[in-house]
Amino acid sequence: MNIPSCSRLAGRFQELQQQSRTALIPFVTAGDPEPGATVAIMQAMVAAGADIIELGIPFSDPMAEGPVIQRASERALEHHVSLRDVLQMVRDFRRQDTATPVVLMGYLNPIEVMGYEAFAREAGRAGADGVITVDLPPEEGRDYVAALRAEQLDPVFLLAPTSTEARMASICEQAGGFVYYVSLKGVTGAASLDVATVADKVAQIRRFTDMPVGVGFGIKDAATAAEVARVADAVVIGSALVRIVETFATDQVALLAEIKTFLGGVRAAMDDVQV
């Protein structure tokens, strides 16, 4: 039995379902290319059609990330961006946008340093809606999940191409908000996507949950996003956007314009296949 979402995520997915649309979830690393740019990037993403934002917490050893997002963490850490700084960015974003769900994505070490309950409390107060903790297996995270749920935060868990049905059932039982299917073996920014295989896996996951299923990793352009939008409830795009941040790191005006152009094209392509 799935536990209902306790954040803005449930309402956003319900709205999109009523519109027969798939959620667009862009990713950006907080503090990249510099701390003052993050809220403006988040706002540009929303203006371009983002439905949910995935905000990366910089970490020194981001094991699931390819070179593009690794470098983003390095740039943010050069500015000494901490977990508390990331939460402040969420607070700043919330001053102008109280509707768009924000999902934090990171690794367990900084959260353990802060403490589960303290992190959940501060993330909830900041206005976050969910947390993806890449390196925390759900069977080791029951206290952590309880702390998140106590603060109305959804624990979003990952499923992989290698996940067994037993694993799917176990993760779906504890997950909240949506289930994130990692569509490729390997790291972010890896090879091209076999959409037919993704469709089969998403259908398999749906046997174990009535929560939305999002798909990420390997979605590099509007055409691929549109194909995935046919079979998933959410499309997550990370490396392609972070590459734009890297390219235009010294020109924020051009950076925001490129993000809007790229994401606007993705949103249009996704909507075209769903009319």
51-88 burial code (b ≥16 CB/10 A, e <16): bbbbbbbbbeebebbbebbbbbbebbbeeebbbebbbb
Measured distance CA(88)–CA(31) in Å, rounded: 11
Q: Given this model, what pLDDT does residue 253 score?
A: 97
Confidence (pTM)? 0.94
CA-nearest of 232, 95, 252, 103 to 177 is 103
Q: Given this model, what pLDDT does residue 3 score?
A: 56
Q: What is the pLDDT along the chain (275 residues), one digit of tens a residue?
A: 455 566 799 999 999 999 999 999 999 999 999 999 999 999 999 999 999 999 999 998 877 778 899 999 999 999 999 999 999 999 999 999 999 999 999 999 999 999 999 999 999 999 999 999 999 888 888 999 999 999 999 999 999 999 999 999 999 999 999 999 998 764 444 456 788 899 999 999 999 999 999 999 889 999 999 999 999 999 999 999 999 999 999 999 999 999 999 999 999 999 998 65
Cβ neighbourhood burial of 264 (10 Å; 0-12, 13-18, 19+): middle
Q: What DSSP designation does 65 have?
A: -
| Contact between residue 211 and residue 172 where contact means Cβ atoms under 8 Å apart | yes
Helices (H), 100-183: 108-114, 116-126, 142-150, 165-174
Domains of the chain are 8-272 (3.20.20.70)
Query: 225 φ, ψ to 5°?
Result: -60, -40
